[in-house]
Amino acid sequence: MGRHLNHMKRLLWGAVALLGLAAGHAQGAACQSAQAGNWSAPATWTSCNNGIPQNGDSATINHAVTVDGNVGSDGNNALSGLTVGTNGVLQGGSYTLVLKGNLTVDGRINWPTGTVSLYSATSQWGGGATGSAIILSSIVMRWSAGLTFAPSAAYTIELRGATPLDTQNGNFNNNGANANNKVTLYFNGAGNQSFTNTKLQYPNLRLGGGGTKTDGASSVTVLGNLTVDAGTTFDASSATSQNAIGGDLTVGGTFKVSPGNNGAWEFNGTTTQTITGAVYLYGIIVSNSSGVVLNGGDLSLGTTSSGRLQFTAGGITTGTNKVIINTPCDWTNIVTGEGTNNKWINGKVQLTFSGYKSTCTFPVGDSLYYAPIDLFIPYFSDVGNIGGKTLTGSTTRTEHPQIGTSGLNPNKDANRYWTLGGTGDTFGCVPLGSDKWNPGYYLATFYFNDPDLDVGAATKNFQVGRYAGGWAPPGVDTAKPHSTSIKVDPTGPGATDGSPFGTYAVGEVLGAPSGGGATNSCANPWGGSQPGAFNAYETATAPATSATGVIKTKVAGQPYSLDVVALKTDKSAVDTTFNGAVAIDVLGLAAYNPASPPALDASGCPAGATVLASPSGTPTISNGRTTVSFPAEANAWGYAKVRIKYTANGSTLTSCSGDAFAIRPNVLGLLAQTSYKQSGGAWVTLAATTTAGTPVHPAGQPFQLTVTGYNGAAAPAITSNWSASSLVTAAAVGGGMTAGTFATGTLAGSGGTVVSASATYSEVGPFTGQLFDTAFARVDSGDGTSADCSGWWVCSPAVAIGRFIPDHFDLSNGTLTNRGDVATCADNFTYTGEPFRLAFTLTARNAAGATTKNYDATAGWARLDGSQGAKWVQGTSAVGAGNINPWGINLTNNAPLAAGRLAVWSGSSVGVCSAPAGAWFQGAASFAACLNVTRNATAENSYEQFRLGVAPVDEDGATLATTAFTLDADNSGSNERLALGTTRLLHGRLSLDNAYGSEILPLPMPMQTQYWITTSGSGYWAANAQDSCTAVTSSSISLTNYGRNLSAGETTPCLRRPGETLCASSQSAMGGKFSLILGAPGTGNDGWVTVGYATATALPWLDPARPGKATFGPARRPKVQYQRENFGFNF
């Protein structure tokens, strides 16, 4: 029973422990990444209860973490929060991360196949440090989950899935006073994407990636900008309720909207809003007191059956564009709210007319005042004459350019004129009908304001003048304090078929018009001669009546002139009868690509072009041709055309020059920079041209190249349109040098400056570099413009760039020759103090491995002279600049050679040793020198495995590639030299032993080389049986200290081996031994002599020779007495 109770207790305590753990985990761990790795790897995380973030945990990522499986599954298995720090990256495969808390991103989520699923709670997404971004497949909101953004959050959330934003039964709570308008939702999947019933307010919305992006919501609200990228369609046709945009609308692709009566788009921002591109909307509501501006395209509104233009605050400024209203203009409530507080169109509006009796208002004004036009068209039974026709109206707050010939008093008029007619209109005049119901006239009323009037002008006396190639006589239908009407009918001079439109001025009548009358003919609404087209070309173009010609490249920042011509109807030649004022401007596209030439409209003008600096006023063409001066255009344009407009009788003829031309930068600024060996990685200009000049940069390694286009103004400015992805290069060098290859690498940039971080030069030394852009102005490559820097090329000046040094040296043919004092020797050792020879070939290379031929002694760019002994040894194991840096290590005990032990052989040229060598020729040099390890004052143990290497470093720091190092000579733990060879270093001496023999016989004298061996703390001299090259000479043998009956001259040393008959003057060791024989002194000349050898002069790398004693005749020894017996011996 007791055992059972104890067992139950253990179970109970175990359960309590488990509950305690569960309770602790329910609070959630604050997991943090410890290193880059997979989400599922415990080593990736720290401070996690279960090794990795799990249910209830929060996760903070400060490294690159890869999601390698689903994280969570539902609201009961989800993270409580997720933070991606500034240095953090969240990435992974096609998995889902479940979150029921907040998300903060100051780093990057780069997870294009991943899904974040929100469950059961509101998730606020914050962060937005510089560089932060989110890329996901989709965001899903389930079980009443909400998504909102912190007001300060500012980043792009790029969603690439087919259903990128799935609210299901969740919601997007970006509303209220703190609604975010900084975050951008970017639907950028490749192909179609759908986000039906999102029920949200977008902060900013961008659609890209191609295909169709369908928003199935009944209403779309964008608090900030709405952007549709080129090649992409945004289908918002389900948005049949009122929609809103608080920022700019930019359409590079297609924007499909609802044609329904309520599908209008309200522009309700607080600062000026811009509509960029040609945009169609069913209707627009302007609710922004700062107004809406059109940029780069017309705004088209409504259908032929319904439409809407409503002003509640602010107006629309068209610039060179226009508002097109497709709904018949006489229908009610098409335009509402206009007339006060800037609620009008400042610019052009094109109206569509119905085929019946119509009274329409052009709701136009300028930046200050509303000055509309009312136009009444009488009843037409033949509806086709005007039904569906379009007419553009505008007003300009200044005197009419031709007021002086109008017959109106320019000092008592309205300083304003109005225009009916423009490009693209199909309604040039009111035609004369076939019966009395078609009278062919129109009634136009022009409104003005008190500030428009000259002082003293009496509006009751105002009449209207119409200009159409000339002035028609002034007339009036009704004159009121702020408007004047005129009825234009087909009863005037030449009026046979209808009543054309034109430009209009109002004022008191001064007299009859002068300078020719206006046309009244629909057949020829221009008045006077009717040109077929216009053209522009170089002034030098001949003959004078030529219909065609070219326009050569122009330089930004510099004025130029061209001839403008009117052409005959068949466009075959100049129409010399044409005289008239024309409006001239220049249209430009920033870049030109011959593989994808710009689209041209019916007038030969490029679509979407920008109006450039153009002649002021309205130049007059006389007799069909005139020279026109064009002001300097500050920017560069890859494609430009001259546009000529001629307006008469309400119709405008527009032509663009037949030849396109470029306006190029005057010059390219070229800056080469390096951060090589610069403190803090600072960038400095590569402009050193002298042998020792700095900074330097390794040949073939990337350096930074900055290229900027400048115009030709007196104070040159950057031409922001210029850009280049490739440039032609040229490199020039001084005499005796080889020109290297100068490559720009990958160029990228905008705003007139491109930068390459991968520019290279393949040779050593400085060079003069020049760049040529042969692409920017290539539209002129076939028109006779010269293909050089004075023509259509854009060039930099020649700029000194340098100085370049070898990227590395290659070492080959390295040898270590033992016993360099001997011409030929096969010994595997060298004595300390004895020279050994190092030899190798160095080749200077660039980063690609090619030889840099300018690293040459004659050219002057070689910076490591091997012929100078001081360049061979610096005395320590340290690697220094301007040195060969040889050093060695005893591999037996890994003891580096002590400082001061390695020296350049200073003896005479002997054996294979001579003066150091190492002169460079075209990038290669053969280095050779004899060195020696200096002898210790006391005998030292042998270096049985002495390995020696070199680390050549020139004065600029160029050395061998790191991978070439094979020797750790300083025992630092890493290789710093390339090993040339391994040898034995021996501390040696020459030894002569004692010898005894008859005075009547020659006496062999033992003589050998020895080396010191240390074992167990003590040492001894051992015979060097490996020595086969040490040579002794008879002249260095000494005989001293004669004794007894032996005197000098009675015996002589002889170097003679067995079998030899003659004495040799010198002898090489055999197995370390020599054959020395002392001649027999003869009978009666017994005695002894000390035999020595002068190693200090003959063999200075050996210890002083140990002398031996040669004894001739019987040797006398002393008596020897033992303890118990006494023997006496006499010798």
pLDDT in tens, 39-65: 999 999 999 987 999 889 999 999 989
Instruction: Give 2 or 486, the one with higher predicted confidence.
Output: 486
pLDDT, position 11: 38
pLDDT, position 991: 96
Q: Is residue 968 scored above 90 in pLDDT?
A: yes
pLDDT, position 96: 92
pLDDT digits (tens, 9 = 90+) for 554-589: 999 999 999 999 998 778 899 988 888 899 999 999
pLDDT digits (tens, 9 = 90+) for 392-413: 999 999 999 999 999 999 999 9
Q: How far apart are the C-alpha atoms of 382 and 430, rounded to whole Å?
A: 12
pLDDT, position 679: 85
Q: How far apart are the C-alpha atoms of 229 and 209, rounded to whole Å?
A: 8
Please count the other Cβ atoms lying within 10 Å of the Cβ belonging to residue 135. Answer: 20
pLDDT digits (tens, 9 = 90+) for 366-402: 999 999 999 988 765 444 457 788 889 999 999 999 9
pLDDT, position 75: 66
pLDDT, position 820: 94
Q: Locate tokens 């009444």: which residue?
A: 376
Instruction: Give 139 or 1080, the one with higher predicted confidence.
Output: 1080
Distances (CA, A) of 662 to 131, 308, 589, 751: 37, 42, 9, 18
pLDDT digits (tens, 9 = 90+) for 1043-1065: 999 999 999 999 999 888 899 99
Q: How far apart are the C-alpha atoms of 481 and 188, rounded to whole Å?
A: 58
What is the average pLDDT across 876-899? Answer: 94
Give me the CATH topology for the region 989-1112.
Immunoglobulin-like (2.60.40)
What is the average pLDDT across 138-156? Answer: 81
Please count the other Cβ atoms lying within 10 Å of the Cβ belonging to residue 594. Answer: 10
Of 410-424, 526-540, 673-687, 1073-1087, minimum mean pLDDT range:
526-540
What is the average pLDDT across 237-243? Answer: 82
pLDDT, position 12: 37
Termini Cα distance of the chain: 112
Q: Is residue 77 scored above 90 in pLDDT?
A: no
Confidence of residue 180 (pLDDT cuts 50, 70, 90): confident
pLDDT, position 690: 95
pLDDT, position 18: 36
Q: Is residue 1030 scored above 90 in pLDDT?
A: yes
Q: What is the mean pLDDT of the chain?
A: 88
* Strand locations in 238-315 (E): 243-245, 249-251, 254-257, 265-267, 273-276, 279-281, 283-287, 292-295, 299-301, 308-313
Please count the other Cβ atoms lying within 10 Å of the Cβ belonging to residue 599. Answer: 9
Q: How many Cα neighbours within 13 Å face the side chain of 1028?
A: 7
Q: Burial of 543 by CB count in 10 Å (0-12 exposed, 13-18 middle, 19+ buried)? A: exposed
3-state SS of 964-1004 is: HCCECCCCCCCCCEEEEEEEEEECEEEEECCEEECCCCCEE
* Strand locations in 560-690 (E): 560-567, 580-581, 583-589, 610-611, 620-621, 625-630, 637-648, 651-656, 661-664, 667-674, 684-685
Q: Which CATH number does the domain 533-664 belong to among 1.10.260, 3.30.565, 2.60.40, 2.30.30?
A: 2.60.40
pLDDT, position 508: 95
Residue 556 pairs with which residues in a beta bridge? none
pLDDT, position 688: 95
pLDDT, position 237: 85
CB 217 within 8 A of CB 187: no
Nearest to 651 by CA among 445, 350, 419: 419
Dihedral, CA atoms, 427, 430, 436, 437, nearest 10 degrees? 50
